[in-house]
Amino acid sequence: MLDNRLIEADATKLDELREILKAQENSDKLCGIGMKEIHIEHGGAKKVCQAVKSLTDGKKVLMVTGPTEIVDVDGKNVKEAVKAYLDAEYDVEWLVISEPNSIVHATPENAAKIQAHFEGKDIVVGIGGGTICDLCKYSTYYYDHENPLPLVIVQTALSVNAFSDDSSVMLINGVKRTVHSRYPLILIIDLDIVAAAPAEMNVSGYGDLIATWTAPVDWYLGNVLGMGQHFHTAPSDMIRTQCDRLLEKSEKLAAGDAKTLGELANVLTLSGLSMGLANESSPASGSEHVMSHLIDMASGVRKTGICYHGTQVAVSGIMSEIIWDWLLNDFDPKKVDLDKCYPSFEEMEPRVKAAFDWLDDTHNAANECWADYQKKLQRWHDHKAEFKAFLENFDEFKKAVAPWVKKPEYIADCMHKANAPTRYSKLNFPVDEKTVRWAITNCHLMRNRFSVIDLLHFTGFWTDEFVQKLIERAEAMDAGL
Ligand SMILES: [Zn+2]
């Protein structure tokens, strides 16, 4: 029976949320929430001094931002306003992280640029989107694990869920990696700032939540097959109902309805917390995210521009929904020849490397992917018994996950209503067909985490023809390429 308090969770009431989580079954398997406060309110940015004061007696603040100008609903420059609030009480150094093309990447190099300014500082205040947040979390954590500088984040768009978790998605050796970092201690979401963000950025946050209908099932599947750990129903139960409501309000979101934006802020923040609770990003990042990560890697090499994370994830989410729909309706476990499901390391190494070798001359990306993939392959070989049991009890599995998935047609329909792009070619940086096919076909080869695509690959269903059928079904719902 679902706990009503859990499904109606409020991200701004952290103590209450901790109590609710403690009351769940097997709550000892959940990690704690390493945050002090979350504010989601109109005029929230004015609380920045109060937030700093609650974390340090020191006076030296490092304010970190990206290069782009951000204004609130009244047209006021957000970064200058926050700087002015802080200046009234603190000694503030404003550090702007920028790159030649003015698109900032979350790289260890940029983190080092931030760390170079930590000496003598008492606190870091990051203002911006997901990349600035990831960089602030990563740089403070890796500068001093034991005693990281306190961190306040002023979130300027509802673009991703990653503001309220303890990891950072970093571009390392050209490969997107989710690495453990830390939580911001205080997160401020000023609804007057996020309401003024470009519509596609808030649609991106809505898109990041599309993963709610695939990532948890990928996570559960991995758990059933002995391929993952930490599975718990609470992190996803906490957001599913509110996500469902948000889908029903897709048109209101497109119209910029203030109340709906507030609801998006809450569920997006809860989605971030769900990853921290699980101690991994699995509740909110499955096969749909890994497709998107590959597209980012290709775009990085081809310099075609990195799309808004969530909008790209959502298009990939439709693809993952189609795959799940196929698994739950068309997969016949009796057709699986168990002994043919275990490719050798000798067979897989050249295959994985061939998929990623074109990304760089140094082979770094290919080596990085193979290093991670072989751990998954080893575990797959080691857990044959679980797979055998899965095939025998497939109906039971289907019954368990049925309430957690949605029909891809329904998701695509909601995304159309939300004005969210449903095609890769309609993203803010259009992705060409060749890249899309490469990303979908090879995404399972990139990392250690198990998803439905690994299952289809090991059972021999994951072929170019299968990917083609996937694309055709998406096409019928005005989605995909
Ligand atoms: Zn995401």
Average pLDDT of the chain, as a whole number:
96
Closest to 445 in 3D by CA, of 260, 284, 290, 222: 290
Q: How far is the CA of 106 from the centre of ligand 1 (A)?
A: 14
Residue 16 CA to ligand 1 centre (angstroms):
26
φ, ψ dihedrals at 74, nearest 5°: -90, 5
Q: Which helix (H) or strand (E) holds 52?
A: helix 48-55
pLDDT in the model for residue 197: 94
Gap from CA of 205 to ligand 1 centroid (Å): 8
For residue 41, what are its two tokens?
């309110």
Mean pLDDT of 208-237: 96
Residue 463 DSSP code: S
CA dist 73 and 76 (Å) reads 7
Q: Which two tokens stand for residue 311?
A: 């909008």
Give the Å distance between the CA of 209 and the centre of ligand 1.
8
Q: To the nearest 10°, the Cα dihedral for 449, 451, 455, 457?
A: -80
The mean per-residue pLDDT over the stretch 16-29 comes to 95
123 neighbors 168 (Cβ within 8 angstroms): no
Confidence grade of residue 325 (pLDDT, cut at 50, 70, 90): very high
Contact 142, 76 (CB under 8 A): no
Check residue 437 and give left, alpha or beta (phi > 0: left; psi -120 to 50: alpha).
alpha
Read off the pLDDT of residues 135-190 as tens digits, 9 standing for 90 and up: 999 999 999 999 999 999 999 999 999 999 999 999 887 777 889 999 999 999 99
Asked if pLDDT for residue 474 goes beyond 80, the answer is yes
Give residue 390's pLDDT band: very low, low, confident or very high (50, 70, 90).
very high
Domains and CATH numbers, the chain: 31-197 (3.40.50.1970), 213-250+279-475 (1.20.1090.10)
Residue 223 banded pLDDT, cuts 50, 70, 90:
very high
The pLDDT of 77-102, averaged and rounded, is: 95
Nearest to 247 by CA among 417, 117, 397: 417
Name the pairing type of β-strands 186-190 and 37-41.
parallel
CA 282 to ligand 1 center in whole angstroms: 10
Angle at 422 between CA 449 and CA 413, to 5 degrees: 105
342 CA → ligand 1 middle, Å: 31
* Cα torsion 195, 197, 200, 205: sign: negative
